Amino acid sequence: MLKTILVSILFIVQIGLIVYCFRILFTMLFLVIYRKKQLPFVPTTPTVVRMIARSGAVQTGDTVIDLGCGTGTILIGLARKIKNVRCIGIEQEQLLVVAGHLRSLFLRKRVQILRGDMFAYPLKDANVVVGFWVTELMPRIVEKIVAECTSGTRIVSHMFPLPEHPRLKLENTITKRNHVVRVYAVV
């Protein structure tokens, strides 16, 4: 009996290690494939997902849209941490979309990852817009946000500040180690 339990535990640990190794290999593969692109693939860390979840920007019942979601790390993390959140990710690169679909397999009703252009996807239904945007795209993203989002929509920017705009108000800045999360509100 004890031997059977120990063998079962060892088997579960081995499966966990294999899954963990595959996640590392896939991340490395994406880093190599997308490093020379105009918009490189930079995976979001669990620390950043926790920072966003604790910031108060995302609340129960919200619709969160991640523009340039990559493999969906932020969306999947928020769907697991906050009840009744609808998460939609927009990503242009097909391989990242497929990886996001695989990662969100058990959260299908709450997480959708779509292939498309982040500048073409409508934001009118969003309560929260999230992103890890590069500075070159920030002016265009801000124009899209202020044109499409209603007053009270929260914008969460990982790492880089959004350009100043009369309709955007910085509400919160959270710093942990080398990560910065800024929460804005559309006024």
Residue 31, pLDDT score: 60
Question: Which residue range is the domain that position 172 belongs to?
Answer: 46-186
Pairwise pLDDT comparison (165 vs 134), residue with the higher score:
165
pLDDT at 39: 64
Q: What is the pTM of this model?
A: 0.81
One domain for residues 103 and 180:
yes
Give the sheet arrangement for strand 86-91, strand by strand: 111-115, 86-91, 63-67, 128-131, 154-158, 179-186, 168-176
Based on the domain organization, do 123 and 61 belong to the same domain?
Answer: yes
Residue 41 lies in a domain: no
d(CA 22, CA 16): 10
**Average pLDDT score over residue span 73-102:** 93
Total domains, the chain: 2
Structural domain contains residue 143: yes
153 & 89 share domain: yes
Task: Assess whether 50 and 98 both reside in one domain.
Answer: yes
Q: Is 145 found in the same domain as 117?
A: yes
Q: Do 77 and 148 reside in the same domain of the chain?
A: yes
Residues 77 and 161 in one domain: yes
Higher pLDDT, 181 or 43: 181
What's the longest Cα–Cα distance across the chain? Answer: 69
**pLDDT per position as a tens digit, 36-76:** 565 667 789 999 999 999 999 999 999 999 999 999 999 99
pLDDT tens per residue across span 97-135:
998 998 898 887 899 999 999 999 999 999 999 999 988
CA distance 150 to 72: 24
Cα atoms in the Cβ-side hemisphere of radius 13 Å centred on 55: 30
